[in-house]
Amino acid sequence: MAGEGASGSGRLHDGFVPGRYPIDAYGGGGFRFADMSHRGSILALPSGVRAWDVTDPDGITPESLAPLLAEAGEANLLLLGTGAEIVFVPDSLRQHLKQAGIGLDVMQTGAAARTYNILMAENRKVAAALIAVP
């Protein structure tokens, strides 16, 4: 995936922008961060922000979260934004993350983005998986 309107310091190369960035805005099917916008869902990880091809909660699987699991030592909490509604995730996914040392907090995407910004500003080991909302 590529970003739309890439400008400033960040560029979405191969669906990835290295570095930690607050989420400046969400909605309209995408997100703004790092002086750029991206249409679609994102994973905000300690290593950077990457495009995430999940469009609904059914797509949240250990496989779709593989980039996070690869950084398990760098993040100990995942804020999962499930879109406009809170959706319960299977206990098996929660257990899979727990085995990797990652706690899970599920909420609407807007709440997850705001909480991510606060915890990131506090230098917490946090990641966010955010499903884009219209």
What is the tens place of the pLDDT at every residue in 74-113?
Answer: 999 999 999 999 999 999 999 999 999 999 999 999 999 9
Domain residue ranges in the chain = 16-130
The per-residue pLDDT of the chain, averaged, comes to: 90
CATH number of 16-130: 3.40.1230.10
Asked whether the beta carbons of 88 and 95 are under 8 A apart, the reply is no
**pTM, 2 dp:** 0.89
Tell me the torsion sign for CA atoms 47, 86, 106, 87. negative
